[in-house]
Structure 1
Amino acid sequence: MTDPPAALREGHHADVSGGRLRPAVFGAMDGLVTNIALIAGVGGGGVSANSIVLTGTAGLVAGAISMALGEYTSVRSANEQVAAEVAKERRELERHPQAEARELAEVWVGRGLPRNLAMEVAETLARRPEEALRVHVREELGVDPDDQPSPWTAAISSFLFFSVGALMPLLPYLLGFTNLWLALAVGGVGLFVAGAVVARFTGRSWLISGLRQLLLGAAAAAATYLVGTLIGVQGGL
């Protein structure tokens, strides 16, 4: 009986590299928390519905652009750092192949492989420079040089998901409602759903994950609402 395909076997791992999931999740969460807190703050200050829409829209656009630029820069810089280390390892392999082979063998020995076997495998691998480079980089740096996340994917994902998250608490106002608490409630639902969706990838309880995100967002909204109320009272708004 042949084994089933890897994708169908129990225990097959999800992609945890972070190139797609991380910016999407953080983008949506940041969008929700940022605009919920922003709307709570200005709403607590007693401003008009039009002012809340203006503030929330500005927060959405500014935040989405900031998230996209931040993710692009972060991922691009990380990739450049990996590329520099790979180039350094390539030079070391060209100049000192035997020393590098011994270094790799020592890593495997430390993991329980017999020394003779570890040295034999390392020396055999050294005859294939490109494969040797990939293995050395994985073992010494803990990264796969051929599977680095795309900065453009991270940037676009962050922009889109932040925008979706930030739009949630604005929806009631855009639909003609003017109740601050309705907007915050819609945002709270978005936070809970986002947390529950994250649990799909982490294996955690969807209820606990959703409630955790809801409580964190509520704490941020409460803090900014209090600040907005105090400023509104003192400023006579």
Structure 2
Amino acid sequence: MQDHGHGPEEIAARLAGRQGPGHLRDAVYGAIDGAVTTFAIVAGVAGSGLPVGAILVLGLANVLADGFSMAAGNYAGTKADGDHRGRLRAREERHIRLYPEGEREELRQILAIKGLTGEALDSAVEAIASNQAMWIDTMLTDEYGLGPTEPEPVKAAWITFLAFLAAGLLPLVPFILPVPNAFAVSAGVTSLTFVLIGAIKSRWSLARWWVSALETLVIGGTAAAIAYFVGGLFNVG
């Protein structure tokens, strides 16, 4: 990942752009699951010897139904995180109103753990405690371990669904066109999809791109192999 600039204007612009939580996890999770589950269906149906029509029906049903299910589940989970955050915020507001000295002592100890001492500690406590919103945000982050930004359940759900849809349709393309040796082409397209997802994911991780790509390929390939094997047990050809 390229280092960012440290000039005053660059810093101001970068901080101003931090307006919400990142959605890398939602995109990666949706894309991987979309490619894995759709190709698992393709492999399972192909292994059982069913016609191409069955692959398309089951594959498209999976992309739409499972994609919606994942998005809805992510929405519910992200909203629950937001509700939990709101409950803790309300509790901190009540505690600051009823037990201001106790909350101030909590703030002092949190800042002391960060290494502040003496006059610097006193000044920091006074500065943060003079702004209730900042005070509560500090407590949510350092006392409860919550992230600094509010969850966005609707956006998280849409990103999950669109990533699932985009990656989940790719294994079906060779059957939709159709092309010769559609299953082999689908396997190749899906493998490339796993590699690309892993490589893109590595931009936000410490792993080398090829390690992340190989990891994602192994996960997807294992799921597909299991599905193909199970489909072969029920071969109707």
- The Cα of 1:115 is off from its aligned counterpart by 5.2
- Paired amino acid for 1:161: A
Is residue 2:220 matched to residue 1:217? Answer: yes
- Match in the other structure for 1:48: 51
Answer yes or no: is 1:160 the counterpart of 2:175.
no
Unaligned segments of structure 1, at least 5 residues = none
Contact residue 30 and residue 162 of structure 1 kept, 8 A: yes
Which TM-score applies when normalising by structure 1?
Answer: 0.87
Q: CA RMSD in A?
A: 2.3
Selected match of 2:124 from 113, 121, 124: 121
Residue 100 (structure 2) pairs with residue 85 (structure 1): no
Compare 206-215 and 136-145 and name the one that shifted more.
136-145
Instruction: Name the CA distance, whole Å, in 1 between partners of 2:32 and 2:166.
Output: 10
1:18–1:43 distance in 2 versus 1, CA, 3 Å: farther
Q: Tell me, which stretches of 5 or more residues in structure 2 are unaligned?
A: 1-5
Residues 1:148 and 2:127 are matched in the alignment: no
Q: 2:102 aligns with which of 99, 103, 106?
A: 99
Where 2:143 maps in the other structure, the secondary structure is: helix
SS at match of 1:47: coil
| Equivalent in the alignment of 2:141 | 138
1:187 is matched with which residue? 190
> In 2, Cα distance between the equivalents of 1:18 and 1:214?
27
**CA distance in structure 1 between the aligned counterparts of 2:102 and 2:118, rounded to whole angstroms:** 15
CA contact (8 A) 1:19 1:153 kept: no
Aligned to 1:64: 67
CA distance in 1, matches of 2:92, 2:72: 30
Q: Number of matched residues?
A: 227
Q: CA deviation at 1:192?
A: 0.7
Write the letter of the residue equivalent to 2:193.
G
Change (3 A) 1:73 1:79: same
Equivalent position amino acid for 1:150 in 2: E
Post-superposition shift, 1:21? 1.2
Query: Which amino acid is the alignment partner of residue 97 of structure 1?
Result: P
For residues 113-145 of structure 1, give each alpha carbon's deviation from its aligned partner in whole angstroms, at most 9, with x where no partner exists.
Answer: 225642453244323323222222222123356
Question: What's the secondary structure of 1:141's corresponding residue?
Answer: coil
Query: Higher mean Cα deviation, 98-107 or 85-94?
Result: 98-107
Amino acid at match of 1:222: A
Give percent identity, aligned residues only.
31
Partner of 2:3: none
The SS at the match of 1:148 is coil
* 1:32 counterpart = 2:30: no
